[in-house]
Amino acid sequence: MNFGPGQVIDASWIVFVFYWFVSSFSAKPIERSEGSAGIARRVFTAAIGYLLLFRADDSQLGIQSERFLPRDLWVASSPPPALQSRSGRALTSAATGAPPTL
């Protein structure tokens, strides 16, 4: 049997949902519930985030649908190490905890 990437991802989600379902039987009951205003605020924020991330090419969003960088390959790739500044490498290594690359 030959599994593709899509089948592996689908199987991973099925295992995750099954584990979550089984684990829900041993979870403690909630101490206090969230009010309807809090739930509505979370759902509204998530919906706005969805629109901005996944519907960014929609013309109804006006200026939000405009790209500020061109859709070119150079945007996705980083510059060669000779063109990177030493301060940039130092900040990156400090933020990630990795030793600086030469």
Tokens 């859709």, residue located: 71
pLDDT, one tens digit per residue, over 3-14 is 777 788 888 989
pLDDT, one tens digit per residue, over 47-94 is 888 877 776 666 666 666 666 666 665 655 665 655 566 667 777 777
- The answer to whether residue 43 scores a pLDDT higher than 60 is yes
Of residues 90 and 18, more confidence is placed in 18
- The answer to whether residue 102 scores a pLDDT higher than 60 is no
Q: What angle do CA 85, 89, 90 make, to 5 degrees?
A: 115
Q: Cα–Cα distance between 51 and 56 in angstroms, integer? A: 7
Instruction: Determine the pLDDT at residue 44.
Output: 94
